[in-house]
Structure 1
Amino acid sequence: MRVVSLFSGIGGFELGLARAGFDTILMCESDPLARSVLRHRLPDIPIRTDIRTIKSLPACEILTAGWPCQDLSQAGRTAGITGDRSGLISEVFRLVGTAKTKPEFILLENVAFALHLQGGAALKFVTANLEKLGYKWAYRILDSQQFGIPQRRRRLFILGSRNLPPESILFRGVFTAKPQTPQYPEQYGFYWTEGNRGLGWSPEAVPPLKGGSALSIPSPPAIWNKNAHSFITPGVSDAERMQGFPADWTDVGVLKKDKKRARWKLIGNAVSVPVVEWIGRSIAEKISTPIHVEQKSRSSKIAVAAFGQPGQQPICLTPDYEGPEAPNVTSLREFELKNANELSLRAAAGFLSRIEKSSLKTHPAFIPDLRAFVS
């Protein structure tokens, strides 16, 4: 199946779908540093630089778009779907609407916060436009931590389909029992750049890798090893692997040597490869193996998962689980960090001063260990 990828980033959609057996025929990415990665890693695929200049959509079966989230995320400006960046999703619908042959599937990804921003306006805008174009749709939050990488990363995935029920693809495993967290965690991820209102506390995982921080600096999270009484940060290649990319995926061209901050930004904004691969394999399997999804409840409120089609009231679900039918949870203790660094004393001291004044909850031994580390 042929894939056209818009807002490609560093190739998460492309790599994930390639592992599922699909071929990308065109990419579009405006960031020159991200394009340098794409050119090195996916050299045979043409790249366009501005979606607004694409006049027509090449014939394809799958269209993907991890459209810009700066106007939707809590860390961004939260301007909503009409913001300068996130509003570019309209260009996706323009291309589909004018296509001679519409793609069978449209796969979109964005931050989970898009569900709630401005009363769910972004989600309503997307699903309404999919229906106008004749697509059935389904959406669900998926957490990368359930797909074999130790990163707690909840993202909203929206799948549109012209002929097949998209919920039978995207909702595989939706009623699976939520896996229990490790009974005795040894390592905990957290954001050392925060500590006043947020922490990102994550047993046996890191919190979501981000392209920025509260200090407006792309930076890694920290990891506290309770048994070793240590505080470290994963290296750039560790972070690439935590997104499902091969190590050093972004270590190319102008990004070599002293461009770690730029690489962190690209990695933090990327789509997790294993999640896309699972969706791709589900699409391929669904073609010959229909999967029934039980209708749970009807509601006009924004739900964490739902599906619908033109002319019908959406069906809303309230699942607790955000992974595949067979959970694949990898803990930090199982994930070998290959180029980790010790958290700097300056960073640790700054974080300590903030969290000691806050009411944030942590492990009882965490702050004593941090005090000993700083002293």
Structure 2
Amino acid sequence: MVGLFAGIGGLELGLAAHGWNTELLCEIDAGARAVLSARFPDVEVHQDVTRLRALPAGTELVAAGFPCQDLSQAGRTAGITGARSGLVDEVFRLVRRRRGPRWLLIENVPFMLQLGRGQAMRHITAALENLGYMWAYRVVDARAFGLPQRRLRVLMLASRTEDPRPVLFGTDAGPRETGDPALDPCGFYWTEGVRGLGWAVNAVPTLKGGSGLGIASPPAVRLPSGEIVTPGIVDAERLQGFSRDWTAPALAAPGVRAGHRWKLVGNAVSVRMATWAAGRLADPSGEEIPGEQDPLTGQRWPTAAWGRAGKAYRVPVSTWPIHEPYEDLRWFLEDAQLLSARATAGFLRRAGRGTLRFPPGFLADMQNHLLRMGGYPQEAA
């Protein structure tokens, strides 16, 4: 296999768990390349996908978690033709230059289904069909694989010779409760408070990449005791399925700040999500595919669909393909720190200006936490 836009190797680690051997990695971020070189020491790491002339001979699978900045609600939303996300066309260029790989696995944010009234998905599916591929995609939640992070991502699988539908749609477990807000820790975005909260029971909301300046932007967690903490970088790595200090080699790259590790983790593919996809590739057996002939009409793209030769069909499956044993968020807070008084005060000011409805007792816990942390900072009073 080849990993394009490889980040810190989440897709590649998951695929390796089921026998896929990485022959080439491509990644432009210097910190991420340092991680890849340290964690995949025998694999060539190429810097610029636009300068990559061809795939290695015998490539059977291309994995591409192409940049989401132009597709994300948290980014610029310039669309599929944006300077970053438009690089997906480089994947199609490389695939066109060589006859096959057998599989193409693409990962990105669910907002790509909505952006430009579906323009991004129409662009990608049309490109795949022009290359002779049958495609399928499904939005999946990292919590389905036992990780306490509410992280929805689009997994798209395409092939010229195989049917991707049994791989992605062959199992469906349906959503489940992950905890009790009165007894379990609850995650939220402390940087929000006016328009959103990101509230998640016994989970953190989606880990984000943070700022381009290397400033960390972890979520916060309200513990049952009422304390408010933020996960550390080691906790974040584990919440993505990586081993602790997986991104530490990034600090060896020139100009990389410690906060840049948050960006690398936030932009990564959950290892367990990739491991599930690899397991399905190895053994796609399962249930009969539902809704096989439910034509896709209009501009809205559903949670799951497949298509070929200009025709597309929706598939009524959930974002939880399986129910792996769920791990308590408490186990992922070994490196946590108390949310600062400044951050707590800023959240409470925003909450006071907005009209959001908050979970019972939450704002009181935030007020009490601020008092325990010394009250409003002098400059924020």
When the two structures are superposed, what TM-score results if normalisation uses the length of structure 1? 0.92
Q: Secondary structure at the match of 2:138?
A: strand
Pair 1:300-2:276 in alignment: no
Q: Deviations over 1:30-70 (max 9, x none)?
A: 01110000011111110111111111111211101000111
Provide the C-alpha distance between the structure 1 equivalents of 2:144 and 2:286, rounded to a whole number of angstroms: 23
Q: Deviations over 1:72-123 (max 9, x none)?
A: 1011110100000100001100111111x31111000111100000011111
For residue 232 of structure 1, report the CA deviation from its aligned partner.
Answer: 0.4
Provide the C-alpha distance between the structure 2 equivalents of 1:215 and 1:115, rounded to a whole number of angstroms: 28
Provide the C-alpha distance between the structure 2 equivalents of 1:326 and 1:173, rounded to a whole number of angstroms: 10
Question: Which segment drifts farther, 190-199 or 289-298?
Answer: 289-298
For residue 255 of structure 1, report the CA deviation from its aligned partner.
Answer: 5.0
Structure 2 unaligned blocks of 5 or more: 372-381
For residue 20 of structure 1, report the CA deviation from its aligned partner.
Answer: 1.8
Q: Deviations over 1:204-250 (max 9, x none)?
A: 1001110126999431100001x311000111000000000000001
Question: Which segment drifts farther, 324-333 or 103-112?
Answer: 324-333
Aligned to 2:378: none
Do the aligned partners of 2:171 and 2:287 also contact (CA within 8 Å) in 1? no
Provide the C-alpha distance between the structure 2 equivalents of 1:34 and 1:68, rounded to a whole number of angstroms: 13
Aligned to 1:354: 350
Aligned to 1:163: 161
For residue 330 of structure 1, report the CA deviation from its aligned partner.
Answer: 2.5
* Aligned residue pairs, count: 364
Distance change >3 Å, CA 275–CA 322, structure 1 → 2: same
Provide the C-alpha distance between the structure 1 equivalents of 2:29 and 2:212, rounded to a whole number of angstroms: 22
Provide the C-alpha distance between the structure 1 equivalents of 2:250 and 2:87, rounded to a whole number of angstroms: 28
Aligned to 1:83: 82
Q: Secondary structure at the match of 1:57?
A: coil
Aligned to 2:368: 372
Q: Secondary structure at the match of 1:186?
A: coil
Do the aligned partners of 2:170 and 2:286 also contact (CA within 8 Å) in 1? no
Q: 1:210 aligns with which of 208, 211, 216?
A: 208
Provide the C-alpha distance between the structure 1 equivalents of 2:323 and 2:200, rounded to a whole number of angstroms: 22
Superposition CA RMSD, Å:
1.9
Provide the C-alpha distance between the structure 2 equivalents of 1:217 and 1:253, rounded to a whole number of angstroms: 15
Distance change >3 Å, CA 172–CA 360, structure 1 → 2: farther
Provide the C-alpha distance between the structure 1 equivalents of 2:107 and 2:183, rounded to a whole number of angstroms: 31
Provide the C-alpha distance between the structure 2 equivalents of 1:314 and 1:343, rounded to a whole number of angstroms: 47
Provide the C-alpha distance between the structure 2 equivalents of 1:185 and 1:318, rounded to a whole number of angstroms: 33
For residue 308 of structure 1, report the CA deviation from its aligned partner.
Answer: 1.1
Aligned to 2:336: 340
Provide the C-alpha distance between the structure 2 equivalents of 1:283 and 1:224, rounded to a whole number of angstroms: 38
Q: 1:250 aligns with which of 244, 247, 258?
A: 247
Once the two structures are superposed, the pairs formed by residues 141-180 of structure 1 within 5 Å of their partners are: 141-174=139-172, 176-180=173-177
Aligned to 1:10: 8
Provide the C-alpha distance between the structure 2 equivalents of 1:179 and 1:360, rounded to a whole number of angstroms: 25
Q: Deviations over 1:281-307 (max 9, x none)?
A: 100113xx4753122522223222101
Aligned to 1:73: 72
Distance change >3 Å, CA 50–CA 98, structure 1 → 2: same
Q: Deviations over 1:137-179 (max 9, x none)?
A: 10110111111211100011111022221111011323x2321
Aligned to 1:98: 97
Once the two structures are superposed, the pairs formed by residues 266-305 of structure 1 within 5 Å of their partners are: 266-286=264-284, 289=285, 292-295=288-291, 297-301=294-298, 302-305=301-304
Provide the C-alpha distance between the structure 2 equivalents of 1:368 and 1:229, rounded to a whole number of angstroms: 9
Aligned-pair identity in percent equals: 46
Q: Secondary structure at the match of 2:350?
A: helix
Once the two structures are superposed, the pairs formed by residues 317-328 of structure 1 within 5 Å of their partners are: 317-319=315-317, 321-328=318-325
Distance change >3 Å, CA 291–CA 54, structure 1 → 2: farther
Distance change >3 Å, CA 262–CA 271, structure 1 → 2: same
- AA aligned to 2:163 is P
Pair 1:46-2:44 in alignment: yes
Provide the C-alpha distance between the structure 2 equivalents of 1:61 and 1:251, rounded to a whole number of angstroms: 31
Structure 1 unaligned blocks of 5 or more: none
Provide the C-alpha distance between the structure 1 equivalents of 2:24 and 2:7, rounded to a whole number of angstroms: 13
Provide the C-alpha distance between the structure 2 equivalents of 1:91 and 1:332, rounded to a whole number of angstroms: 38
Provide the C-alpha distance between the structure 2 equivalents of 1:290 and 1:126, rounded to a whole number of angstroms: 27
Distance change >3 Å, CA 51–CA 251, structure 1 → 2: same
When the two structures are superposed, what TM-score results if normalisation uses the length of structure 2? 0.91
